[in-house]
Structure 1
């Protein structure tokens, strides 16, 4: 990889973006581009050509992951969220298989489809899903479609499961099936609310069956009085431990619990969140060797960093790592990492308080921040580095580093608060803290960092322990940088690849 100092002054006439440089930047500073993300292609963090990915439901068979998902067309239709499917072997390239299970009519229970799961038994694939119609009472019931090949599905109108007495009939969704191998019986877990233990609370209702058709209510699988709903439940076993994963509707994060065996008290880990607020509705699938969790990274309204999150977006996948004590962490899928292996020139556009030796950058901040800025990139790429914090306790990577850098989006390694944090930094203003995840700080203060980027999405992986997903529109087609707010930090083996 070569390193050179360049200056960018022009603005490409591609209609996908326009210049929004205020003119306050120094002559020769990189122009700020405002990319229209609506027309960008997402093939790595998959989305269909038309519409967006909601609530993925992965299923693995014969070397291929079948990612069923709720298709969010955003076309104003009175019926919405049919099940679509994409397939992949490596989470780096996807095939769009289109619609699998259509919605019903505006009068039917499945006017809108909701989350569910796919289960195979005796050569038949069962897709249990949520039928949602806000004009009916109850609003939600569990419904069924079956298939012989995972591609052609037939709805079974004879199957309808409504909430039992004592459960919330309008919040009754997200079914998943697990099999008790010892007894040969099946359990259906459903996200709902119930009058349980003396108060209405979020529960995972539990039904049992011997034939996948007739279901009998039993005691709740899990309950939580501190949140409204535990959405998209997922239960699986790895080694000696059983895991329960759910999405907290209140704090918009994916959490997990675990326990030894399949009975007994659940352990709540010190850090139960698996990512930040831009990673929702996580569910898992295993290829028999590794287990992966898929979720969606939301878009923002009008594709603007200043607007709120939409429902649905692009597909994000992490690989789970299990430790001997039962805790788990996240890292990148190796198929994605291997795909982005072609090293690129690391073109630096500016540098302040930085000592450079080959691809090693030592940033020494004093009263002034230390920063190095690199050329803009398009599409999909990977940034990797070994980071050693000598005396700095606040440093990281920034995006949207164009013009005079009056506004940037910083991924901050805050060692004092042990946080990996996304901030919007505007000159002369207090930083806006957008999101954060827990950062494990090793004694040697060394961090192996990999950042996967496609258009406005970046996923930061640290030490194969922490995953942090973000949507940053200003990142697309604009320069990026490394910085230190105080003290000294070295970014060694800094590498850009596609």
Structure 2
């Protein structure tokens, strides 16, 4: 049983969400990135169609589209598919249009669509996202692009408009902050209530899927205080709605192919290899706040998959270091240095939940994963109130080689403002090396755990006090 879909001998690349109203279900496509050791007789390149979005039931089918990310719409009984193609020799990219009566068989129509070079660089013109802008009564196409002219910090979301899905005219970029050097990949746009949302991914300076918000489809676009959906381990995410909820589909990258020749020596462990392109599919459900900003919660299929197993088991922490006391199912740990308590064995696939509350101003507190009884190995999901962030630390950081390897203080982080005395519900879904933590079903933090050893879950606090309660674990 799997929580985060990873194809056999391959990785999930960019997901192209499509809710098929003819069948009332998601029929998503994705770019399949085959592993180097994949059996040659099984390799089928290009777009693949998913049979479902539930990770434990997915089958995928190649559909004969050979190119990059795009979008699919259903208009008057015909499916329309837009995608991008590349010419590496000419350093150009084009957009193509295909049609079909089903979702498997496609026929290209028209000529490849190139940009107006007075507005856009021809080297970056990809990932078309097509939708009907009802406010303006025409079709819009968003494009991952770079604005022509000026310096190299010209990544943007390009805009084209059409009345018939065939003839397109370029307009000025929809969003061009002159901030990043790469095109804004996998653009996506949708409306919830009075707010419009623009979603895109970028891999220069940062590596994440971002969003902006506006009262009008033309902007001006506002940057929310927390403008990402997940950690660095979530990319190329696009959204889709079933008419009730909106979900965002991305990938948690695997590691180990050393595509960029950046990997450290093998003895430094798999957790420190560079990220691959593609990995395991991760799906979040979007949550809109009263001020229009967005959070994320587990998609409905994750609790559903886990709910088909035996019920969760309550766990009682066992103190290992520091001062711990308990009252019923509530445990309080404190110490001038490091206080820690261990629970049950860490499940290979399953679910961990706990409620955490801190007092005063601890340096850090949070979860330990795959921890040993001497606290010398393990992973740490640290809540850092002083720096207003969640921080991820993997096992090597605790050892001398970690100090030799890392020239930086933080391995992976996400902003998170915390309050003393407030209770936070923490849920961790883990599937082999892939894991995602949710806080209050509103914030997500994805990660990979490659060098996991047989170990236990646990809780800790540094220079302060933490309260742990309502702990349960479900292993599959």
Aligned to 1:68: 29
Aligned to 1:29: none
Write out per-residue CA displacement over residues 295-324 of structure 1, whole angstroms, 9 at most, x where no aligned residue. Answer: 000011159102111110000111111122
Structure 2 CA distance, aligned partners of 1:118 and 1:477? 44
Gaps of 5+ in 2: 258-268
Cα distance change, pair 385–92 in 1 and its aligned pair in 2 (3 A): farther
What count of residue pairs does the alignment treat as equivalent? 444
Correspondence 1:115 to 2:78: no
Correspondence 1:134 to 2:97: no
Q: How does 1:32-431 map to 2 (within 5 A)?
A: 43-61=2-20, 62-75=23-36, 82-88=46-52, 91=54, 93-103=56-66, 113-135=67-89, 137-150=90-103, 152-156=104-108, 158-166=110-118, 167-195=120-148, 201-228=154-181, 229-250=183-204, 251-301=206-256, 304-341=270-307, 342-344=311-313, 346=315, 351-353=320-322, 354-356=324-326, 359-378=329-348, 380-391=349-360, 392-402=362-372, 404-424=374-394, 425-427=397-399
Structure 1 CA distance, aligned partners of 2:44 and 2:177? 30
Write out per-residue CA displacement over residues 163-213 of structure 1, whole angstroms, 9 at most, x where no aligned residue. Answer: 222322121111000212255421111111122578861122211112211
TM-score (norm 2): 0.86
On the 8 A contact 1:351/1:373 being kept in 2, the answer is no
On the 8 A contact 2:316/2:471 being kept in 1, the answer is no
On the 8 A contact 2:3/2:305 being kept in 1, the answer is no
Cα distance change, pair 243–476 in 1 and its aligned pair in 2 (3 A): farther
On the 8 A contact 1:360/1:494 being kept in 2, the answer is no
Structure 2 CA distance, aligned partners of 1:488 and 1:242? 42
SS in 2 for 1:339: helix
SS in 2 for 1:88: coil
Aligned to 1:463: 440
Aligned to 2:266: none
On the 8 A contact 1:299/1:312 being kept in 2, the answer is yes
Gaps of 5+ in 1: 1-41, 104-112
Q: CA deviation at 1:155?
A: 3.2
Q: CA deviation at 1:469?
A: 0.6
SS in 1 for 2:451: helix
Q: CA deviation at 1:361?
A: 2.8
Higher relative contact order (CA 8 A, sep 6+): 1
Structure 2 CA distance, aligned partners of 1:94 and 1:491? 35
SS in 2 for 1:205: strand
TM-score (norm 1): 0.83
Cα distance change, pair 472–386 in 1 and its aligned pair in 2 (3 A): same
Cα distance change, pair 162–191 in 1 and its aligned pair in 2 (3 A): same
Decide which moves more: 488-497 or 164-173. 164-173
On the 8 A contact 1:419/1:437 being kept in 2, the answer is yes
Cα distance change, pair 205–485 in 1 and its aligned pair in 2 (3 A): same
On the 8 A contact 2:45/2:62 being kept in 1, the answer is no
Q: CA deviation at 1:396?
A: 0.7
Cα distance change, pair 472–445 in 1 and its aligned pair in 2 (3 A): same
Following TM superposition, where does structure 1 have runs of at least 4 consecutive aligned residues deviating by more than 6 angstroms? Answer: 76-80, 197-200, 347-350
Structure 1 CA distance, aligned partners of 2:127 and 2:283? 20
Cα distance change, pair 264–308 in 1 and its aligned pair in 2 (3 A): closer
Q: CA deviation at 1:373?
A: 4.4
Write out per-residue CA displacement over residues 365-406 of structure 1, whole angstroms, 9 at most, x where no aligned residue. Answer: 23343232431322x211111111123341111223136432
Aligned to 1:454: 431
Structure 2 CA distance, aligned partners of 1:411 and 1:233? 31
On the 8 A contact 1:422/1:436 being kept in 2, the answer is yes
Correspondence 1:489 to 2:450: no
Cα distance change, pair 384–465 in 1 and its aligned pair in 2 (3 A): same
Structure 1 CA distance, aligned partners of 2:453 and 2:8? 19
On the 8 A contact 2:52/2:59 being kept in 1, the answer is no
Cα distance change, pair 496–76 in 1 and its aligned pair in 2 (3 A): closer
Cα distance change, pair 347–132 in 1 and its aligned pair in 2 (3 A): farther
Structure 1 CA distance, aligned partners of 2:306 and 2:327? 24
RMSD (Å), alpha carbons: 2.6
